[in-house]
């Protein structure tokens, strides 16, 4: 059996779908179709599919919960793998290993109920932990670097490899997995160091964090936090966008939130296009650069191809 046929057989076994609209799988609800789309809930199947796609020379794109990502209108060629592996096991009294598809919010609550503290801040993050790792996701003064011990990953050649947290160059919304030489590695699990805590205290803090998010972050389809906060200015990205006079700015179905200017909303899911969001992002960057001399860098990932013209 040829390498391509091995991949096709595995896609069939995993009930892959052709031409799946990717807007169904992102928080902002825009994005063109995938050549092949497959949900993977088993860690072994994830490894097999990644290896088969790479062996066949077929492009492979990982998609987690679909937060903080914008997929262009032309969609994605090859295979889009939605990672829904959500296993969690204890590897010590206060240390756990979690599969990369587990959601931050669910993990925060489950560890709190188990009497483990240290992830309360993550309750307001909507995405999956594996998707948040490359940007060292965080909130309210904490981030993954505070608890990460190490990771397991699939290297470009299909080998299973391990890295300690100290090897990942985790910084403010960056790491070797996002901006360095590990971009082609696919994370399968993370080991986290938590601490003994009080369940009721942790759950109360989680309720507080979730309340803050509901108060300060807009609801509905959006790109989430669109830009990184600049290091060259004391003002946040949201403050700069607001002071540039762009709160409420609209292009097509893309609108800068009136509640929090670093969020770009989808106001018309039926007719929204990724191109509108990209145009609005560029307009924001140009205005902030022109007025304040600050270059805003996207926190979101922009992937996929432009839609064909004509």
CATH topology for the 218-302 domain: 3.90.78
**Confidence class of residue 1 from pLDDT cuts 50, 70 and 90?**
low
Write down the pLDDT at residue 308. Answer: 85
Percentage, residues of the chain above pLDDT 70: 99
Q: Taking a C-beta distance cutoff of 8 angstroms, is the pair 305, 76 a contact?
A: yes
Q: Is residue 310 scored above 80 in pLDDT?
A: no
| 72 has catalytic annotation | no
173 in catalytic set = yes
Supply the mean pLDDT for the chain.
Answer: 96
- N- to C-terminal Cα separation, the chain: 40
Given a cut of 90, is residue 3 above it in pLDDT? no
Domain 3-83 identical in fold to domain 218-302: no
Cα 241–Cα 223–Cα 142 angle in degrees, nearest 5? 80
Give the separation between CA 259 and CA 219, rounded to whole angstroms: 10
Architecture of domain 3-83: 2-Layer Sandwich (3.30)
Query: β-pairing, 186-193 with 148-154?
Result: antiparallel
For the cut 90, the answer to whether the pLDDT of residue 2 exceeds it is no
| pLDDT tens digits, one per residue of 50-81 | 999 999 999 999 999 999 999 999 999 999 99
Is 225 considered catalytic here?
Answer: yes
* Set 173, 178, 228, 273: catalytic member: 173
For 101-126, write each residue's pLDDT tens digit: 999 999 999 999 999 999 999 998 98
| Domain topology for 88-215 | 3.30.465
Active-site residue among 97, 205, 242, 299? 299
Beta carbons within 10 angstroms of residue 32's beta carbon: 21
pTM of the model: 0.94
Among 3-12, 142-151, 273-282, where is mean pLDDT lowest? Answer: 3-12
CA atoms within 13 A on the CB side of 255: 14
pLDDT category at 29 given cuts 50, 70, 90 is very high
Residue 34, pLDDT > 80, answer: yes
The torsion defined by the Cα of 87, 93, 94 and 99, in degrees rounded to 10, comes to -10
pLDDT (mean) for 34-58: 96
Please state the rounded mean pLDDT for residues 128-145. Answer: 95
Hey, how many other C-beta atoms are within 10 angstroms of the C-beta on 229?
A: 19
Q: What is the Cα–Cα distance from 230 to 227, expressed in whole angstroms? A: 9
User: Inter-axis angle of helices 104-113 and 199-216, to 10 degrees?
Assistant: 160
Q: Taking the domains of the chain in order of start, what are their residue ranges?
A: 3-83, 88-215, 218-302
Residue 254 has pLDDT above 80, yes or no: yes
DSSP secondary structure string for all residues of the chain: --HHHHHHHHHHHTT-EEEEEGGGGSTT----EEEEEEEE--HHHHHHHHHHHHHHT--EEEE-S-TTEEE-TTBEEEEEEEE----EEESSSSEEEEETT-BHHHHHHHHHHTTEES-GGGGG--SBHHHHTTTT-EETTEEGGGTEEEEEEE-TTS-EEEEEGGGS--BTTB-HHHHSTTTT-EEEEEEEE-EE--HHHHHHHHHHHHHHHHHHS--SSEEEE-BPPPSSSSS-HHHHHHHTT-TT-EETTEEE-SS-TTEEEES-TTT--HHHHHHHHHHHHHHHHHHH---PPBSSEEESBPPPP-
Task: Catalytic residue, from 67, 100, 225, 257: name it.
Answer: 225
- In this prediction, residues 119-136 reach a mean pLDDT of 95
| Structure confidence by residue, pLDDT tens digits, 232-247 | 899 999 999 999 999 9
């Amino acid at each position: 059996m040829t390498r391509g046929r091995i991949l096709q057989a595995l896609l069939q076994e995993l009930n892959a779908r052709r031409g799946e609209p990717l807007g169904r799988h992102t928080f902002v609800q825009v994005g063109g179709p995938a050549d092949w789309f497959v949900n993977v809930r088993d860690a072994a199947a994830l490894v097999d599919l990644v290896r088969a796609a790479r062996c066949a020379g077929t492009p492979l794109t990982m998609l987690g919960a679909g937060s903080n990502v914008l997929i262009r209108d032309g969609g994605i060629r090859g295979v889009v793998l939605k990672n829904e592996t959500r296993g969690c096991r204890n590897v010590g009294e206060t240390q756990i290993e979690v599969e990369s598809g587990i959601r931050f919010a669910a993990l925060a609550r489950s560890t709190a109920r188990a009497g483990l503290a240290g992830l309360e801040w993550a309750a307001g993050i909507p995405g999956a932990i594996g998707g948040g790792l490359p940007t060292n996701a965080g909130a309210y003064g904490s981030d993954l670097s505070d608890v990460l011990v190490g990771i397991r990953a699939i290297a470009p050649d299909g080998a299973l490899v391990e890295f300690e947290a100290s090897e990942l160059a985790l910084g403010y919304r960056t790491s070797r997995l996002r901006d360095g030489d590990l971009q082609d590695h696919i994370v399968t699990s993370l080991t986290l160091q938590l601490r003994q805590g009080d369940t009721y205290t942790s759950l109360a803090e989680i309720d507080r964090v979730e309340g803050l998010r509901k108060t300060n972050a807009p609801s509905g389809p959006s790109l989430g936090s669109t830009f990184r906060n600049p290091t060259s200015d004391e003002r946040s990205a949201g403050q700069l966008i607001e002071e540039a006079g762009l709160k409420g700015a609209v292009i097509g179905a893309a609108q800068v939130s009136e509640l929090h200017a670093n969020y770009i909303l989808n106001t018309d899911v039926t007719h929204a296009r990724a191109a509108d969001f990209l145009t609005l992002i560029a307009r924001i960057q140009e205005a902030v650069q022109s007025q304040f001399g600050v270059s805003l860098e996207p926190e979101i990932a922009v992937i996929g191809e432009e839609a064909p013209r004509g």
